[in-house]
Structure 1
Amino acid sequence: MAVSLNEIKNKIASTKNTSQITNAMQMVSAAKLGKSEQAAKDFQVYAKRVRQLLTDLLDSELVAGSSNPMLLSRPVKKTGYIVITSDRGLVGGYNSTVLKAVMDLIKEYHEDPESYAIISIGGMGTDFFKARGIEPIYELRGLADQPSFDEVQKIINKAVAMYQAELFDELYVCYNHHVNSLTSQMRVEQMLPIVDLDPNEAATGYAKEFDLEPGKEALLNQLLPQYAESMIYGAIIDAKTAENAAGMTAMQTATDNAKKVISELTIQYNRARQAAITQEITEIVAGASALE
């Protein structure tokens, strides 16, 4: 059945409106991405300093052989996963990449549902798990595009407190790491127990002498949870940056596809219009011939 000229014209107009919306969303995502990248860079400066402080501290004789539970591995009876997704769609494969990886982890390492727990950040992930009968032990929705530490402090503190209370014996963060505006990389990083503070990596080239007050264990009891919390916060910032990049790329692709559709519809419209004009001329000629 031939499509009328009005139908094609309406499709062109509708697609143009869609392309204007996706183009606007692309520019918004690009602006958010710039802010997120700057926030991630600022955090890296802070994280580097805190990491250096702790590695230097752990390398000193004053804390040698520390028995702080956040540094010691224990038999793993239950594993905690913080899964970071977005609250909305229109971000390409951003959410599906993370969720597929997490489900693969669960399938490979956890035959018993009681051997793992999910802490979900983002509505897409939360709804995904609930639809599959996996109830997150804690969830957070409606996170800002550039979240402050205050916004996520409650869920981060909760995760660290659960580990300290031995509700699970190790904690991982699953998220998309931002590489550049076109690329992200799925990561599963161990946050607890803290295993990445190697003093040999942070040799500063000077003798480290510390006078500690109130004492080595009290200091570590304060600093190590803060370090774990800051690393989780850093992963959230990184994931948000990757989300904004994915949104920008998805909207750019949608805009390009809309332009392609408009071009194809315009050709179709011109051909249909040409056919209609030819038909009218044929009918006029035929009518004139009948009157002769």
Structure 2
Amino acid sequence: MVGAIVGDIVGSVYEWDNHKSVDFPFFVDRCFFTDDSIMTVAVADALLSLGERDLFDDDLVRGAVRAALVSYGRSYPDADYGSFFKEWIFAEEQLPYGSYGNGSAMRVSSTAYFASDLEGVLRLARLSAEVTHNHPEGIKGAEAVAGCIYLARTGADKGAIRSFVESSYYGVSFSLDDIRAEYVFDVSCQGSVPIAIRAFLEGDCFESVVRLAVSMGGDSDTIAAMAGSIAEAFYGVPVEFEVVALSRLDVWLRAVVKRFYQRVIV
């Protein structure tokens, strides 16, 4: 989960000021956590609130995630949420609205640590997505990211992870260098999740993965959050990056992150 937060914070200053190169200041003073980190922590908090048996009850999982997203959204009302998601947060009744945006995939990382097999991880990813993003592409994006994280943290190599993605979700045989110049802002899962996964596949360490993700421009904080969440599971997060990222969170978000790592076996 810290990998997603690092990616979000590093990418935060480049979302509206795209930098089409891997050469950029990694953490700058004006970096900040965005809605991506807030909702990532919200999903983790929801899962932490459930007992081990409760995690097998679809309705309980959906209910916990829904409640957490609303609570966090209302507690951080000025974050840069998408317009439909913000309406959902403050609605009298929270019904899924058919989104295929990448919000389902950027917040999903913790689900990969609350199940003991790939099938269970994909189920939790689907449940966490469909409270808002019940479009097939919204669910697909969340499952793809969570599945990559699970495989990475359980020892799969990049070839196996790529095969998983290409067999069930997206083609990722392209090169980032070949599409970087033409790639534009795209908040759909299908337009951004493959970019994040490709950044992970091309990178050779945690930092290079995040740099590649940001270098694509577009929705840079979210792409970097998704790529960073996978890279954490594969490479780990350098301690110095974790320290800086956590220092940018407020005390409430930091406390949930701490509880998450105390409970899960990374």
**What is the TM-score with the length of structure 2 in the denominator?**
0.27
**What is the TM-score with the length of structure 1 in the denominator?**
0.25
* Higher fraction of strand: 1
